[in-house]
Chain A
Amino acid sequence: MPRETLSIPCRVESLAVLAADGQLDKNLEPQVPDADLRKLYKTMRASRRLDERCLMLQRQGRMGTYGPSKGQEAASLGVAYGLNKGDWFVPAFRETAALLWRGWPMHTWMLFWGGYEAGNEVPPGVNDLPTCVPIASQCQYGMGIAWGCKLRGRGQVAAVFCGDGATSEGDFHEALNFAGVYNLPLVMVVQNNHWAISIPRHCQTAAQTIAQKAVAYGFDGLQVDGNDILAVIAGTREAVEKARTGGGPTLIEAVTYRLSMHTTADDPKKYRKDEEVKEWEPRDPLPRFRGYLKQKGLLDEKVEQVIDEEISAELDQAVRNYEAHRFDPLAFFEHMYAEMTPDLRAQQAELKAYLNRKKIETTEAQRHREEGENNESHRRPTAAR
């Protein structure tokens, strides 16, 4: 009986195009029209500034706990750029830049973190799913969407996102296994930002890469420099093309870094060294892409200024829309079922009556208080005399 090393027909490759120092691999550079490059830059910048604005709103008590995606803009945006509008986009919760590209209004993002259901409103014209909080669970329905795309036969693909931490969940593995078994048009993107709250990537898996996990499910894995938008675009294009033409799934590991806190409820100083963050800062995707555009003559200070002014105006408007948002406090009974059950109808009526009574009581109490104050102010001068 021989003993030999098996030759597994799946590849695991690593791809980088534009290095942190600006060096460009011309052979690997994806062809992207100038107008798109500018628009991509603006979206990246808008995503960064949306994060900053949300953090500010959170600090001022005008928003709930917020999860920034600072440093990860290229990883999601590059994938979004590689998709058609009619493809399916299945996010986790750090795909802010991609959602902006897909046409999600900034204020919708604010509404989600601000504690309003309206934050899940999918814009018309795209097949996108809202944010998914239970880690890795989206991999399963994302896989199902890819399956539906295959069965419908219209050449659509599904791009599904999760984090490095998510790759420890059973849901991630089960979804990839199905995708392999049914040869589904799935692009599974792992944003490996090196941290899952306080757990570093090397404590999450003993494997050298996340990309290699694809091999166990019978397809290719591709590691891309997730802070290099050109690499992300190039890798996505390959994976999407393969998926669209019946070649099956790809696992893309976008290697990036969470430059900020997990969420505003988190204090990263407890578990990670500032030096590590300092090491990653020069690899920030934003200045890297800016350098590339400048090199190409697509960006100068003037253009940047115009872009920033436009973004400022959009952000201001988004905050106004967000803060002007009003909702019916009884609407949460709706959409539990296609048709409201008699029990729900009764409970809604019960709550409506209660809220009305409470409103009347508060106004009456207010009136009593005011009357009391008026009487007092009448009396006070007398008493002083």
Chain B
Amino acid sequence: MAQLTMVKALNLAMAEAMRADPNVLVLGQDVGQDEGVFRVTEGLLREFGPNRCIDTPLAEAAIIGAGIGLSFTGFLPICELQFDGFSFQAFHQIENHARRFRNRTRGRYPCPLVIRMPYGGGIRAIEHHSEAPEATYAHLVGLKVVMPSGPRNARALLRAAIHDPDPVIFFEPKALYRAFREEVPDEPETLPIGKGVIARRGRDVTLISYGAMLRTALEAAEELEDEHGIDAEVLDLLSIAPFDAALVNESVRKTGRAVVVHEAPRHCGFGGEIVARIVEDSLVYLEAPVKRVTGYDTIIPYFQNELTYLPDTGRIVQGTLETVRF
């Protein structure tokens, strides 16, 4: 057992996979000598050499396109995009190819690649470094979309993603990279992609979140208990594609109330899908309308004002109170 930050935990998952299977490669901008701009690929060049930890030229489409082609020749590429804001430079490779090849070749050419990228706001970065584009990718069926909320599940999910037979978009919440440490077991651990977990048990209302907002939702749950006597259950989705609708519905049927929390804009955000599934499957169990606490339908403001934009515990508490007191 070691106390690791998320950066170290992700690094561990890659190093383990590379040791176990020579087909696992890491490629991206500045992943070698520089060890990644967030240092997630630390030590990989040293241990595995420049043929397996590959510094590429500055071209996202080529990184993903190469990853797709490499996967056809039997490799398991882990492609790093430097920021989620620059994943759009590779969008056609992901949309037109990575997610479709299995289907259009009737299983002959699946794309077992992992596309890692730092996700979300909260690190006082300049523009294009703080967006939350998960719904865009979740909408591209054929992709799996995963988002850890802490070091331990980051390691276990990345391990699962590397061994997954399908293309996985792996969002790494930047705000959590070094936010806290957690016990990460020495022996390799895997979490199933497509399954969420109950992060906190409760009876009165279900808070549903993922990524960095999970922590904020947990803090809000504490405040709800301490100051309002409300016992909130908090769900950590971990994957949004596939999406664990069963977990959500089970919890909501118990509590009768739900609040969805994410930092992405509300309009067509993933919260819309969550609410739809609750309404479709559990409407008669609901005691109140489902609430969404999200980013606003704007460009995320420059960093002096980004905390105004990102949901905080106050907004989650307020949204939950409205739901509970409906």
**Quick check: is B228 within 8 A (CB to CB) of the other chain?**
no
Q: Which of B124, B266, B309, B314 contacts A332 (CB 8 A)?
A: B309
Stretch of A96-104, A210-218, A351-359 at the chain-chain interface: A351-359
B304 and A204 within 8 A (CB): no
A135 and B58 within 8 A (CB): yes
What is the CA–CA distance of A271 and B36 in the complex, to the nearest angstrom? Answer: 11
A134 and B57 within 8 A (CB): no
Which of chain B's residues has its CB closest to A332's CB? B301
What's the nearest-Cβ distance from chain B to residue A313, in Å? 26
Hey, which chain A residues are within 8 Å of B129, CB to CB?
133
What's the nearest-Cβ distance from chain B to residue A326, in Å? 10
B34 and A198 within 8 A (CB): yes
What is the CA–CA distance of A199 and B62 in the complex, to the nearest angstrom? Answer: 16
Number of interface residues of B (CB under 8 A): 40
**Quick check: is A65 within 8 A (CB to CB) of the other chain?**
yes
Hey, which chain B residues are within 8 Å of A351, CB to CB?
296, 308
Interface positions, chain A 46-82, Cβ under 8 Å from B, are 64-65
Chain A interface bracket (under 10, 10 to 19, 20 to 34, 35 or more):
35 or more
What is the CA–CA distance of A329 and B308 in the complex, to the nearest angstrom? Answer: 7
What is the CA–CA distance of A113 and B304 in the complex, to the nearest angstrom? Answer: 10
**Quick check: is A84 within 8 A (CB to CB) of the other chain?**
no
Hey, which chain A residues are within 8 Å of B34, CB to CB?
197-198, 270-271
What is the CA–CA distance of A203 and B29 in the complex, to the nearest angstrom? Answer: 11
What's the nearest-Cβ distance from chain B to residue A300, in Å? 40
Which of chain B's residues has its CB closest to A170's CB? B61
What is the CA–CA distance of A90 and B297 in the complex, to the nearest angstrom? Answer: 28
What's the nearest-Cβ distance from chain A to residue B219, in Å? 15
Query: Given contacts A347-B297, A358-B314, is CB(A134)–CB(B302) below 8 Å?
Result: no
Hey, which chain A residues are within 8 Å of B127, CB to CB?
133
What is the CA–CA distance of A351 and B310 in the complex, to the nearest angstrom? Answer: 11
What's the nearest-Cβ distance from chain B to residue A93, in Å? 9
**Quick check: is A165 within 8 A (CB to CB) of the other chain?**
yes
**Quick check: is B201 within 8 A (CB to CB) of the other chain?**
no
**Quick check: is A336 within 8 A (CB to CB) of the other chain?**
yes
**Quick check: is A364 within 8 A (CB to CB) of the other chain?**
no
What is the CA–CA distance of A204 and B57 in the complex, to the nearest angstrom? Answer: 5
A117 and B308 within 8 A (CB): no
B297 and A336 within 8 A (CB): yes
Q: Which of B86, B124, B298, B314 contacts A115 (CB 8 A)?
A: B124
What is the CA–CA distance of A115 and B121 in the complex, to the nearest angstrom? Answer: 13
Query: Given contacts A64-B125, A134-B86, is CB(A165)–CB(B57) below 8 Å?
Result: yes
Hey, which chain A residues are within 8 Å of B323, CB to CB?
none
What's the nearest-Cβ distance from chain A to residue B224, in Å? 16
What is the CA–CA distance of A338 and B89 in the complex, to the nearest angstrom? Answer: 27
What's the nearest-Cβ distance from chain B to residue A125, in Å? 25
B128 and A203 within 8 A (CB): no
What is the CA–CA distance of A166 and B29 in the complex, to the nearest angstrom? Answer: 12
Residues of chain B touching chain A, judged by Cβ–Cβ distance below 8 Å, are 29-30, 32-35, 37, 55, 57-62, 85-86, 89, 124-129, 266-267, 296-299, 301-306, 308-309, 314-315, 318
Q: 20 pairs across A/B with beta carbons < 8 Å?
A: A65-B125, A115-B302, A115-B304, A134-B86, A134-B89, A136-B58, A168-B58, A169-B58, A169-B60, A170-B61, A198-B32, A199-B29, A199-B58, A265-B37, A271-B33, A327-B304, A329-B305, A332-B301, A333-B296, A347-B296
Given A115-B304, A333-B296, A354-B314, 19 further pairs, Cβ under 8 A:
A113-B126, A115-B303, A116-B304, A117-B302, A133-B127, A133-B129, A165-B57, A168-B62, A171-B89, A198-B30, A199-B57, A329-B308, A332-B305, A332-B308, A343-B267, A344-B296, A347-B266, A348-B296, A355-B308
